Every structure is written in structure tokens, then in C-alpha cells.
Chains A and B, each alone.
Chain A
Amino acid sequence: DAGVIQSPRHEVTEMGQEVTLRCKPISGHNSLFWYRQTMMRGLELLIYFNNNVPIDDSGMPEDRFSAKMPNASFSTLKIQPSEPRDSAVYFCASSQTGNTEAFFGQGTRLTVV
């Protein structure tokens, strides 16, 4: 299996632009997590899905952030409009019912200038 696939690996955008991060979970996994990692705040859970349904989005920082999971093999995290303080590494992870751990993608490094 190719593991969790995130794209792009790096994104540089100007303040005010829309940014879309993409994630393909491991086939057969039914839970998907979006995390944000920064030096100041560490690894924060933004939102997670079970069976394509958002379960807990309490970590989404504000209305500029939105996440979707239209099917079991694809999820997006959108920031609109982006701000410099959104600069971070964004990770997607997935897990499977019956297993306990999550498997992480390589992350997307977002820089907003």
C-alpha cells in the first residue's frame, strides 16, 4: 500500500488567496484526521471524520477553514482567505476500525506570505 498520500508537499501562497490541501487515506481506512503542526502550538487536531462524516471540528481555528470528505478515498482542507499565521505543516492521517493507531502522510508545508 502507498500509505496516506498528501498533496502538494509544499505550497507557497500570498495572503488572501485560497489554499486547498488534499489527502488520500489508506484504502479500507474509515477514520481520517487533519492535524496542524507549528513550533508554537505543536500538533493540533483540526477535524476528524468517521465513514466520511465529520465527527469533531472543534479544532478548526475559524470560519476561514473548512474540510470535506466527499468519499472514502479523498478529503480536502481549504483555507479561504489564507493569512500568514496559517503557515504550518498540515498532516493527514487515517485509521481503520478494529485497529487503534493512525497512519500519517508526509505532510504539506504551507507558507503564506
Chain B
Amino acid sequence: AQSVTQLGSHVSVSEGALVLLRCNYSSSVPPYLFWYVQYPNQGLQLLLKYTTGATLVKGINGFEAEFKKSETSFHLTKPSAHMSDAAEYFCAVREYSSASKIIFGSGTRLSIRP
């Protein structure tokens, strides 16, 4: 069965500092992996995804994530945080089929200090 673990329900960084949000997954087959962002009172928006090929994927708003199969991880990073990055971030996994379900982690709330 698939599952996703996000370490840290709340992360706080200073503006301009590195953002690192951690995600580990378990899946019986090579998965699709996603990061979504949710702003207050809104739906979830896709930040980036890994399907196949290059393990370092770039997304919107300067975010990127690296798929590490040996560590079953898909951590999200951004070199320099901006105030507008404050939001809830969700890691998600989908088994290697576009007809399978998508399971989300518990989310990490990112706060940016001025």
C-alpha cells in the first residue's frame, strides 16, 4: 500500500533563507510523486511532479525536488524564501498508473519570517 510521510507539520524560515520540506514515501511499484501547494481558503495547486527520467524536477515559483529511490524520498527545496511562499505544502504519491488513486501526506505549513 502506498503512503506518504511529511516530516514536520510546521516549518519556519527567514525571508531569503533556504526552504527544505521533507517527504518520504512507500510504494510497491515505482510511483509518480507530486508536491502541491494550498493557500488559505483555496484548493490545491500542483507545484511539480516526478514521473520518469530526470530525478531533479523543477516546478513553479522557483521550487524543485529530487527523487531519490534509494532513500524513498522526494524533498522539496527553494534556495531563497519569499514572503509569498507562506502556505501549506502537500507531498503526494500515485502508483505507476494514471488510473490509480493519489495519496497525500499530512502537509507542512511553511511560515516566512521577515
Binding site for B on A (CB under 8 A): 4, 31, 33, 35, 42-43, 45, 48, 50, 55-56, 91, 93, 95-107
Contacts of B43 in A (CB 8 A): 4, 91, 104-107
Interface hub of B46, B101, B104 (most chain A Cβ within 10 A): B101
Residues B84-103 near A (CB distance < 8 A): 90, 94, 98-99, 101-103
Q: Is the CB of B44 within 8 A of A104?
A: yes
Measured as residues with beta carbon below 8 angstroms from the partner, the interface class of chain B is 20 to 34
Residues B51-74 near A (CB distance < 8 A): 51
Chain A interface mostly: strand
Q: Is the CB of B42 within 8 A of A43?
A: no
Point out the residue from A4, A33, A35, A101 that lies within 8 Å of B34, measured CB to CB. Answer: A101
Residues B33-55 near A (CB distance < 8 A): 34, 36, 42-46, 49, 51
The minimal Cβ–Cβ distance linking B29 to chain A, given in whole angstroms, is 14
Interface hub of B32, B44, B107 (most chain A Cβ within 10 A): B44
Chain B interface mostly: strand
- Is B106 interfacial (CB-CB < 8 Å)? yes
Q: Is the CB of B102 within 8 A of A33?
A: yes
Binding site for A on B (CB under 8 A): 32, 34, 36, 42-46, 49, 51, 90, 94, 98-99, 101-107
| Contact A50/B46 with A100-B32, A100-B94 known, Cβ cut-off 8 Å | no
Point out the residue from A4, A97, A106 that lies within 8 Å of B99, measured CB to CB. Answer: A97
Q: Pick 15 A–B contacts, CB within 8 A, sort by A.
A: A43-B104, A43-B106, A43-B107, A45-B103, A45-B104, A55-B99, A56-B101, A91-B43, A91-B44, A93-B44, A100-B51, A101-B34, A103-B46, A104-B44, A104-B45
Q: Is the CB of A98 within 8 A of B104?
A: no
